[in-house]
């Protein structure tokens, strides 16, 4: 649309508004007319103003806190326990794996070869888990002020136990196959 056409359209709209105003005066009390908004053919006007929910949220602004209040904001985290839990769990798994290996060697192999093979494989898995827990215990011992002795013992014993139980599991597997 050209400027001349837009001016003509505005003038026609203004004449129509004046005619509506004259009719409204004759009909009764005058009601406030909605404000005229300049529209263009390629724009879509909203039907109503945007409600509060549709508006953008307020920006987040840093608000510093006074130094006297900073210490009271939240309680500090508790100190980590000095006990080396992974090393203790490793020792417990070593004991369970050793008991399983001894049961296979002295009791289960003469009773049922299949169950003895299964128990020996489970014992090897427990011993391997004890090895990884012992390594975790060494890591914990370096990060905290705990003794590395229990973790070191657990690493050495679990390596020996895994090797011994692997031999027992292999013997049980060969006994099952024969």
Give the pLDDT confidence of 92-141 residue by residue, as tens digits.
999 999 999 999 888 887 888 888 888 999 999 999 999 999 999 999 88
Report whether pLDDT(52) > 60.
Answer: yes
Quote the CA–CA distance of 49 and 133 in Å, as a whole number: 65
Contacts 24+ apart (CB under 8 A), 102-106: 104/168, 104/172, 105/168
Radius of gyration in angstroms for the set of CA atoms belonging to the chain, rounded to a whole number? 43
From residue 69, alpha-carbon distances to 64, 65, 75, 109, 149 in Å are 11, 7, 13, 70, 44
Average pLDDT over the chain, rounded to whole? 78
- Give me the half-sphere count of Cα atoms (radius 13 Å) on the Cβ side of residue 93: 27
In 3D, which of 94, 109, 103, 108 has the Cα closest to residue 154?
A: 94
Which pLDDT score is estimated for 64? 73
Q: Among the listed ranges 23-37, 68-82, 85-99, 155-169, which one has the minimum average pLDDT value? A: 23-37
Please give the DSSP secondary-structure letter assigned to residue 22. H
| Backbone angles phi and psi of 59, in degrees to 5 | -65, 150
Largest CA-CA distance found in the chain, in angstroms, rounded: 117
Q: How far is CA 36 from the centre of its chain?
A: 54
Mean pLDDT value across residues 151-161: 92
């Amino acid at each position: 649309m050209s400027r001349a056409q837009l001016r003509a359209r505005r003038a026609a709209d203004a004449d129509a508004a004046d005619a509506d105003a004259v009719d409204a005066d004759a009909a009764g009390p005058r009601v406030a007319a909605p404000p005229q908004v300049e529209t263009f053919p390629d724009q879509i006007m909203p039907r109503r103003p945007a409600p509060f929910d549709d508006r953008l949220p307020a920006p987040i602004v840093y608000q510093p806190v006074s130094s006297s209040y900073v210490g009271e904001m939240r309680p500090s985290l508790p100190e980590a326990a000095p006990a080396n839990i992974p090393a203790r769990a490793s020792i417990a798994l070593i004991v369970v794996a050793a008991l399983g290996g001894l049961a296979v060697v002295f009791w289960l192999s003469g009773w049922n070869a299949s169950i003895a093979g299964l128990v020996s494989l489970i014992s090897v898995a427990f011993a391997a888990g004890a090895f990884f827990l012992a390594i975790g215990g060494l890591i914990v011992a370096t990060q905290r002020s705990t003794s590395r002795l229990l973790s070191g013992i657990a690493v050495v014993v679990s390596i020996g136990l895994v090797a011994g139980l692997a031999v027992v599991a292999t013997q049980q597997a060969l006994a099952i196959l024969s």
